[in-house]
A and B are shown apart, each in its own frame.
Chain A
Amino acid sequence: MDNREVLIEAVNVKKYFPVKRGWFERGERKTVKALDGVSLVLYKGETLGVIGESGCGKSTLARVIMQLVPATAGEVYYKGNKVTPENIMQFRRQVQMVFQDPYSSLDPRMSVGRIIEEPLRVHMKGLTAVQKEEIVRPVVAKVGIEYEALVKYPHEFSGGQRQRIGIARAMVTNPELLICDEPVSALDMSIQAQVLNLFKGLQKELGFSYLFISHDMSVIKHVSDRIAVMYLGKIVELADKKELFDNTLHPYTKALMNAIPVPDPTVESMKADLTGEPPSPINPPKGCSFHERCPYATARCSEETPHLTDMGNGHMVSCHLCHGAEREVENA
Chain B
Amino acid sequence: MDENIIEVRGLKTYYYTATKVIPAADDVTFSMKKGEVLGIVGESGCGKTTVARSLVRLINKNTARIEAGEILFDNMDLSKATPRELSHIRGNRISMIFQDPFVSLSPVYTVGNQIAEVMRAHSKEKIDRHEERRIIIDLMKKVGIPSPEMRIKDYPYQLSGGMQQRIMIAIALACRPDILIADEPTTALDVTVQAQVLELIRDLKDEFQMSVILISHNLGIVANMCDRILVMYGGAVVEEGSCYDIFKNPKHPYTRGLLKAIPSLSEDRDELFSIPGTVPTFTVPVTTCRFADRCPHATEQCRCAEPELRDVGPGHKARCVFADREWD
Which residues 254-310 of A sit at the B interface, judged by CB distance below 8 A? 255-266, 269-275, 277-278
Contacting residue for B272 out of A161, A196, A260, A272, CB 8 A: A196
Asked if A191 lies at the interface with its beta carbon under 8 angstroms from chain B, I say yes
In the complex, A186→B185 CA distance in Å?
Answer: 17
Contacts of A132 in B (CB 8 A): none
> Is there an interface contact between A261 and B263, defined as CB atoms closer than 8 Å?
no
Asked if A197 lies at the interface with its beta carbon under 8 angstroms from chain B, I say yes
Asked if B198 lies at the interface with its beta carbon under 8 angstroms from chain A, I say yes
> Is there an interface contact between A158 and B263, defined as CB atoms closer than 8 Å?
no
Contacting residue for A221 out of B263, B270, B276, B294, CB 8 A: B263
Given the interface contacts A188-B43, A188-B44, A196-B263, does A259 sit within 8 Å of B275 by beta carbon?
Answer: no
Interface-lining segment among B61-69, B243-251, B304-312: B243-251
Interface string of B272-301 (1 = CB under 8 A from A): 111110110000000000000010000000
Contacts of B199 in A (CB 8 A): 270, 272
In the complex, A270→B162 CA distance in Å?
Answer: 16
> Is there an interface contact between B261 and A193, defined as CB atoms closer than 8 Å?
yes
Asked if A37 lies at the interface with its beta carbon under 8 angstroms from chain B, I say no
Asked if A79 lies at the interface with its beta carbon under 8 angstroms from chain B, I say no
Interface-lining segment among B101-109, B113-121, B217-225, B318-326: B217-225
Contacts of A264 in B (CB 8 A): 223, 247
Contacts of A274 in B (CB 8 A): 192, 195-196
Given the interface contacts A189-B217, A189-B262, A190-B279, does A197 sit within 8 Å of B248 by beta carbon?
Answer: no
> Is there an interface contact between B196 and A261, defined as CB atoms closer than 8 Å?
no
Distance (Å) between the CB of B256 and the closest chain A CB?
12
Asked if A137 lies at the interface with its beta carbon under 8 angstroms from chain B, I say no
Asked if B86 lies at the interface with its beta carbon under 8 angstroms from chain A, I say no
Contacting residue for B265 out of A196, A260, A277, CB 8 A: A260
Contacting residue for B220 out of A53, A196, A197, A263, CB 8 A: A263
Contacts of B269 in A (CB 8 A): 222
Measured CB to CB, the nearest residue on chain A to B275 is A190
Given the interface contacts A197-B272, A197-B274, does A190 sit within 8 Å of B220 by beta carbon?
Answer: no
> Is there an interface contact between B262 and A263, defined as CB atoms closer than 8 Å?
yes
Asked if A215 lies at the interface with its beta carbon under 8 angstroms from chain B, I say yes
Distance (Å) between the CB of A100 and the closest chain B CB?
15
> Is there an interface contact between B263 and A53, defined as CB atoms closer than 8 Å?
no
Measured CB to CB, the nearest residue on chain B to A195 is B274
Contacting residue for B219 out of A196, A221, A263, A271, CB 8 A: A263
In the complex, A192→B161 CA distance in Å?
Answer: 26
Asked if B29 lies at the interface with its beta carbon under 8 angstroms from chain A, I say no
Asked if A82 lies at the interface with its beta carbon under 8 angstroms from chain B, I say no
Contacting residue for B192 out of A192, A245, A255, CB 8 A: A255
Measured CB to CB, the nearest residue on chain B to A184 is B263
Contacts of B261 in A (CB 8 A): 189-190, 192-193
Contacting residue for A190 out of B160, B223, B257, CB 8 A: B257
In the complex, A215→B219 CA distance in Å?
Answer: 16
> Is there an interface contact between B195 and A270, defined as CB atoms closer than 8 Å?
yes
Measured CB to CB, the nearest residue on chain A to B279 is A188
User: B163, B248, B265, B294: which has the most chain A beta carbons within 10 Å?
Assistant: B265
Given the interface contacts A160-B278, A194-B274, A217-B265, does A261 sit within 8 Å of B224 by beta carbon?
Answer: yes
Distance (Å) between the CB of A84 and the closest chain B CB?
36
> Is there an interface contact between B270 and A200, defined as CB atoms closer than 8 Å?
yes
Asked if A218 lies at the interface with its beta carbon under 8 angstroms from chain B, I say yes
Measured CB to CB, the nearest residue on chain B to A190 is B275
Measured CB to CB, the nearest residue on chain B to A271 is B195
Contacts of B272 in A (CB 8 A): 193, 196-197, 222
Contacting residue for A269 out of B220, B222, B247, CB 8 A: B220
Measured CB to CB, the nearest residue on chain A to B199 is A272
Interface string of B202-241 (1 = CB under 8 A from A): 0000000000000001111111100000000000000000
Distance (Å) between the CB of B231 and the closest chain A CB?
12
Which residues 205-233 of A sit at the B interface, judged by CB distance below 8 A? 215, 217-219, 221-222
Given the interface contacts A189-B258, A191-B278, A265-B247, does A277 sit within 8 Å of B162 by beta carbon?
Answer: yes
Asked if A54 lies at the interface with its beta carbon under 8 angstroms from chain B, I say yes
In the complex, A275→B193 CA distance in Å?
Answer: 8
* Cβ contacts A to B, 10 pairs, < 8 Å: A188-B44, A188-B217, A189-B219, A191-B278, A197-B274, A201-B271, A217-B191, A260-B191, A265-B224, A266-B248
A-B complex: 5 closest residue pairs judged by Cβ atoms: A261-B220, A222-B263, A193-B261, A193-B274, A53-B190
- Chain B interface residues toward A at CB < 8 A: 43-44, 160-163, 190-196, 198-199, 217-224, 243-244, 247-248, 257-259, 261-266, 268-276, 278-279, 294
